[in-house]
Amino acid sequence: MSSFTLYPAIDMRGGKCVRLLQGDYNQETVYGDSPFDMAKQFADQGAEWIHMVDLDGAKDGKKVNHEHVIRVAKELAAKVQIGGGIRTMEDVSYYLENGVDRVILGSAAVSNPDFVREALNRYSGSRVAIGLDARDGFVATEGWVETSHIMAVDLAKRLVEEGAETFIFTDISKDGMLQGPNVEAIGELARITGKEVIASGGVSSIDDLVSLKKDDRNIAGAIIGKALYTGRFTLSDALGSVK
């Protein structure tokens, strides 16, 4: 794998930058009033990509904070990937044809496989990523409220056959806890699929990033959220550690 990419995260709710603990909407911390200003800070520190999540969209099943996403995509040099509330081909096209580089489809991979197949078919696996959110190895859906009976690894193998090239793997038990990512599970997914797997959830230190980047793991990158917002390290330091 040629490079290890860092994705500073901006989770949006009610137009603000927030973080939830383990995806719990009742455990929210607000970190800023402007997603654009936050994205600009990250871009100014050298971020090549910004990871944006429409939390309202994930909960409501439709895009809600999309205007903030499009503004970042159009006005900043960093590439943008967006997840949350993308349930139709119209939503996919709206983002990808308005400057966004990649959309992330999550719950739909379980609930609407035909839609996911069509999106991969029309736009390629590099522009349509699959978000695999797992609890004890099983895929969680609908904003993490529901847990399916499908193993994340099995779903990934199926989606590779449909053309998936990029997976974002979140271990919900690690999300927002600053206890380190589930490196073994992420590495296993990368090994089994042979595709790009981006780690999400739990990164708490530079050491976590170095561990994820180890050459034999073939992990493509990591999404960093709470550790940046709580000052565990700066994005500049993180980028320097994985060069």
What CATH number is given to the structural domain containing 17? 3.20.20.70
Q: How confident is the model at residue 1 (pLDDT cuts 50, 70, 90)?
A: very low
Q: How confident is the model at residue 143 (pLDDT cuts 50, 70, 90)?
A: low
Do 42 and 235 meet the contact criterion of CB atoms below 8 Å apart? yes
The reported pLDDT for the residue numbered 20 is 87
Q: Do residues 15 and 21 lie in contact, with contact meaning Cβ atoms separated by under 8 Å?
A: no
Instruction: Kindly list the catalytic residues.
Output: 11, 133
3-state secondary structure the chain: CCCCEEEEEEEEECCEEEEEECCEEEEEEEEECCHHHHHHHHHHCCCCEEEEEEHHHHHHCCCCCHHHHHHHHHHCCCEEEEECCCCCHHHHHHHHCCCCCEEEECCHHHHCHHHHHHHHHHHCCCCEEEEEEEECCEEEECCCCEEEEEEHHHHHHHHHHCCCCEEEEEEHHHCCCCCCCCHHHHHHHHHHHCCEEEEECCCCCHHHHHHHHCHHHCCCEEEECHHHHCCCCCHHHHHHHCC
Q: In this structure, what token pair is assigned to residue 211? A: 């561990």
What percent of the chain is modeled with pLDDT above 90?
74
CA nearest neighbour of 85 among 56, 119, 116, 57? 57
Q: What is the pLDDT of residues 58-75, one digit of tens each?
A: 889 899 999 999 999 999
Which residue has better confidence, 76 or 61?
A: 76
pLDDT at 195: 96
Give the residue-averaged pLDDT of 19-25. 84
Question: Is the pLDDT assigned to residue 113 strictly greater than 50?
Answer: yes
Closest CA to 156 of 134, 183, 123: 134
Query: Which whole number is the average pLDDT over 181-201?
Result: 93
Statement: residue 87 has pLDDT above 70: yes
Portion of the chain with pLDDT greater than 70, in percent: 95
Measure the CA–CA gap between 112 and 206, rounded to whole angstroms. Answer: 37
Q: How far apart are CA 20 and CA 29, in angstroms?
A: 7
**Which carries the bigger pLDDT value, residue 192 or residue 20?**
192
Contacts of 132 (CB under 8 A, 6+ apart): 106, 109, 139, 152, 155, 156, 167, 168, 169, 170, 189
Mean pLDDT of the chain: 92
Among residues 209, 136, 130, the alpha carbon closest in space to that of 163 is found at 130
Domain that holds residue 47: 5-241
Number of domains in the chain: 1
- pLDDT (average), residues 142-170: 86
Band (109; pLDDT cuts 50, 70, 90): confident
Q: Is this structure's pTM higher than 0.85?
A: yes
